[in-house]
Amino acid sequence: MKTLILRLCFCLMPIWMLASCTKDEFSEPKASVGTTLNHPNVEGDYSVKSLQITWKEINSGNEINVSPQPVEATNLTSELPYGTYIATVQGEVEIDDAGQKKTYAIKGYLDNIVITNATAAVTLDLFLSDPSAKFVFKEIFFTGTLTPEQKKYNGDKYFILQNNSTDTLFADGLIIAQSSFLTTTKRVYTPDVMSEAFTTDEIIMLPGSGNEHPVYPGQQLIIANNAIDHTAYNTNSLDLRNADFEIELISTINVDNPAVPNTISLAGNLLMHDRGYTSYVLARLPEGMTSAQFLEQTAYTYSYIGGTGREMFFDAYKIPNEFVMDAVNLSVAESFEWLVTAPTLDMSWTYCGKVSSDANRYGKSVTRKTLSTSNQGLVFLQDTNNSAEDFQAETVPSLK
């Protein structure tokens, strides 16, 4: 009996050894990633209440969440499989400034983190996000519609802004700008100003001297391409005669409604990209700065090396990030390459259409999610500076 058992053990041993070797040979390689968190410099007593890093591997979509222990620690180590990652930091801090305590969201973002070695070091710069009173983009309808004959119809695009505060705000002087850079084409631009400003050559401004266009809490503004009844020309389109403002487009597609005030074109013609390859900011000039001063002070020339090796030069304007109250990056999953805003403005992107040639994108918009509703029915929209989280993609236009 003992001899039989010993023979059986020896017979099974090669199988066990083979299984062990196979498991070790094909186990997923992992890296020890040391992460340094650079907290922002603030005045007052600063305490971290919560913090989490989400590592997202962009090829597989897998996510790994890591929290510092203790929560205020600035150095931590994560075990991550080899890959290319986006790191996103979300948390909450409390600041006591002269006896006044205020809670802020704390965030961080870094993309294109390539991990292919056993050890790696990453530094994440964190920043504060203050949900103070401001306007936000509620909805962006950039795709246009198709006619019953399946032809493109572009004149019915629009923006909806909302006063996302409990105060009455004035829309006079609000700026909407479209990015010069594409989220689907990553280039090395010189000078690189993205960490401090938004580059644009298409800017519109709402008219008014400062107190002509009050917007009450929760109220919205519609800024249309052409403020007309588009259903008279395309039964699949929209009636935009009730828009608050209309954009003056290039002459070949501009149709003026004299009953609706025009926006002021500060630069270029704001023609919304119907595939969502661009991004938008909502901004306001500092008190006392005129539009002429703004254009003079922010004009600059950038360049990049083209495919032929020749340096290409372009004129644009750089809107300082501190002028910006809201930003939305748009893109398409199969073509996305980078964000064209600083992560302090927006940490991700939203979309209409799964691929660049997706015909299903027409007649769809992106709409900001509702955060809460007061007992009086006042709706507050979600604004975490993360468009993937804040917006519902591919929604039915609310003005349909």
Confidence of residue 18 (pLDDT cuts 50, 70, 90): very low
What is the DSSP pairing of strand 264-267 with strand 245-246?
unpaired
- Asked whether residue 120 is domain-assigned, the answer is yes
pLDDT, mean over the chain: 89
Q: Which helix (H) or strand (E) holds 175?
A: strand 174-179
- Asked whether residue 22 is domain-assigned, the answer is no
**Coil, helix or strand at residue 339:** coil
Residue bearing tokens 């360049």: 303
- Asked whether residue 19 is domain-assigned, the answer is no
If one compares 99 and 215, the residue with the highest pLDDT of the two is 215
Model pLDDT for residues 116-164, shown as the tens digit of each residue: 999 999 999 988 775 555 899 999 999 999 999 999 998 899 999 999 9
**CB neighbour class for 237 (10 Å; exposed up to 12, middle 13-18, buried from 19):** buried
Model pLDDT for residues 331-345, shown as the tens digit of each residue: 998 999 999 999 999
- Asked whether residue 266 is domain-assigned, the answer is yes
- Asked whether residue 319 is domain-assigned, the answer is yes
Confidence of residue 254 (pLDDT cuts 50, 70, 90): confident
Using the 3D structure, point to which of 129, 164, 191 is the last residue of a domain. 129
Residues 297 and 317 in one domain: yes
Model pLDDT for residues 218-236, shown as the tens digit of each residue: 999 999 999 999 999 999 9
- Asked whether residue 247 is domain-assigned, the answer is yes
Q: Which helix (H) or strand (E) holds 25?
A: helix 2-25
Residues 167 and 86 in one domain: no
Q: Which helix (H) or strand (E) holds 53?
A: strand 45-57
Model pLDDT for residues 80-101, shown as the tens digit of each residue: 999 999 999 999 999 886 677 8
Residues 37 and 162 in one domain: no
pLDDT score for 396? 97
Residues 223 and 335 in one domain: yes
Model pLDDT for residues 292-324, shown as the tens digit of each residue: 999 999 999 999 999 899 999 999 999 999 999
CA 93 – CA 50 distance, rounded (Å): 7
- Asked whether residue 290 is domain-assigned, the answer is yes
Residues 172 and 157 in one domain: yes
CA 96 – CA 103 distance, rounded (Å): 9
Structure tokens at 303: 């360049």
Q: What percent of the chain has pLDDT over 90?
A: 74
Residues 54 and 157 in one domain: no
Residues 123 and 142 in one domain: no
Structure tokens at 383: 């604004």
Residue bearing tokens 């403020």: 227
Using the 3D structure, point to which of 78, 99, 129 is the last residue of a domain. 129
Residues 199 and 324 in one domain: yes
- CATH label of the domain that carries residue 117: 2.60.40.2100
Domain limits for position 108: 30-129
- 276 has pLDDT over 70: yes
Residues 54 and 177 in one domain: no
Residues 39 and 161 in one domain: no
pLDDT score for 6? 38
Kindly report the pTM of this predicted structure.
0.80
Using the 3D structure, point to which of 129, 159, 193 is the last residue of a domain. 129
Residues 247 and 379 in one domain: yes
Q: Which residues of 302-339 are buried (b: 16+ CB within 10 A; e: fewer)?
A: beeeeeeeeeeeeebbbbbbebbbbbbbbbbeebbebb
Rounded average pLDDT over 370-376: 80
Distance of CA 155 to the CA centre of its chain: 25
Q: Looking at the 3D structure of the chain, how many domains does it have?
A: 2
Model pLDDT for residues 100-119, shown as the tens digit of each residue: 787 888 888 898 999 999 99
- Asked whether residue 2 is domain-assigned, the answer is no
Confidence of residue 11 (pLDDT cuts 50, 70, 90): very low
All residues at 6 or more sequence positions from 49 whose CB lies less than 8 Å from its CB, including other chains:
71, 91, 92, 93, 94, 103
Say if CB 91 and CB 52 are below 8 A apart: yes
Residues 230 and 270 in one domain: yes
Say if CB 233 and CB 163 are below 8 A apart: no
- 189 has pLDDT over 50: yes
From first CA to last CA, the distance across the chain in angstroms is 84
CA 31 – CA 97 distance, rounded (Å): 41
What is the DSSP pairing of strand 324-330 with strand 349-350?
parallel
CA 200 – CA 268 distance, rounded (Å): 9
Query: What letter represents residue 17's amino acid?
Result: M
